[in-house]
Chains A and B, each alone.
Chain A
Amino acid sequence: GQQVMQIPQYQHVQEGEDFTTYCNSSTTLSNIQWYKQRPGGHPVFLIQLVKSGEVKKQKRLTFQFGEAKKNSSLHITATQTTDVGTYFCAGIGLVTDKLIFGTGTRLQVFP
């Protein structure tokens, strides 16, 4: 079945440093979504990417969808303590209407 992996599993950064998490799917995706989950909280929808090679920005966050629509990345510029949490990618395959979540990357930011 479809699997979505993320690396790294954990990342600790100093406040102000950049952070990137990578998402890889075993199958081609029709689209990919990104969610953020604060410690003890629930996932919150951030963004969706649909087109091959698509790049979207939300303030300090940059999201990219790979040309082959099998991978994606989230880059945070100049991290802040408010960025702490787990970032999940989630993809919908070409022949399914179910969203499969990645394994997540937990970000810790030290002041």
Chain B
Amino acid sequence: NAGVTQTPKFRILKIGQSMTLQCTQDMNHNYMYWYRQDPGMGLKLIYYSVGAGITDKGEVPNGYNVSRSTTEDFPLRLELAAPSQTSVYFCASSPFSGPQDGYTFGSGTRLTVV
């Protein structure tokens, strides 16, 4: 049981490039989330999904897109990368009953935009 798996672990992007951060969970959780964490700061919600085919914006969605075609996968797309998107990105999931059962986080993707 791997939990939440994120790839890649590290990435350097040039300004204007695009990339997809992958997130997969094998716990059959309905809820999935993307957070970003800037150095020394808390976690900001980017997008979340309550099930396959359903996504919604969080606190800081600008510059990002998501899709949820399956229960397991919740990729995060960065279009036209900017230095302000340099951050650590965490994917998380929670069970069908919702976030009140605690989130399981992936190990994160450290992204640098230069």
Contacts and interface: CB of A to CB of B under 8 A. Distances in A.
B80 to A, nearest CB: 26
B103 A104 contact: no
B7 to A, nearest CB: 14
Interface residues of A, number: 23
A31 B100 contact: yes
A43 B105 contact: yes
Contact of A104 (B42, B44, B100): B42
Given A88-B43, A102-B42, A97 B104 contact: no
A79 interface: no
A45 B42 contact: no
A35 B90 CA distance: 14
Given A92-B99, A92-B100, A97-B98, A42 B42 contact: no
